[in-house]
């Protein structure tokens, strides 16, 4: 194991240990804050798009934020557990960013990520 691999491994362990020390409600609130910050830095929330079950072909409207869509979806999912969280907002954001993450992966020819 080289030094960089050892650092990445230890860093992940330390990060997970620190994460487990936080109360679940506090952790969920931090995810909600992180979601808001990342989304704002990435250009704000995406606009409404047509449903997936429509017959015509819909071309995805790519945005710079799509590179962070998977991360935004995870933050939204974790923020759902925050006390007094806007459940419908975070649930809708999670669905939208999961869709965007899959479309972004498909545009990058990362088929495994697009289907997962």
- Kindly report the pTM of this predicted structure: 0.72
Q: Is the pLDDT of residue 57 over 60?
A: no
Has residue 52 got a pLDDT over 70? no
Burial 50-77 (b: 16+ CB within 10 A, else e): eeeeeeeeeeeeebebbebbbbbbbbbb
Alpha carbon distance 74, 30 (integer Å)? 12
Tell me the CA distances in angstroms from 52 to 13, 20, 45, 60, 75, one per residue in order: 39, 37, 19, 11, 23
At residue 77, the 3 state secondary structure works out as helix
Average pLDDT over the chain, rounded to whole? 83
pLDDT > 90? residue 79: yes
């Amino acid at each position: 194991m080289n030094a960089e691999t050892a650092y990445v491994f230890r860093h992940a362990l330390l990060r997970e240990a620190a994460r487990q020390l936080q109360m679940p409600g506090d952790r969920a609130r931090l995810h909600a804050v992180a979601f808001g910050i990342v989304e704002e830095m990435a250009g704000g929330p995406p606009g409404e798009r047509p449903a997936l079950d429509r017959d015509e072909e819909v071309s995805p409207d790519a945005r710079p934020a799509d590179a962070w869509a998977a991360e935004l979806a995870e933050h939204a999912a974790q923020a759902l557990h925050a006390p007094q969280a806007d459940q419908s907002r975070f649930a809708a954001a999670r669905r939208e960013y999961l869709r965007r993450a899959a479309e972004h992966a498909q545009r990058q020819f990362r088929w495994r990520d697009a289907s997962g």
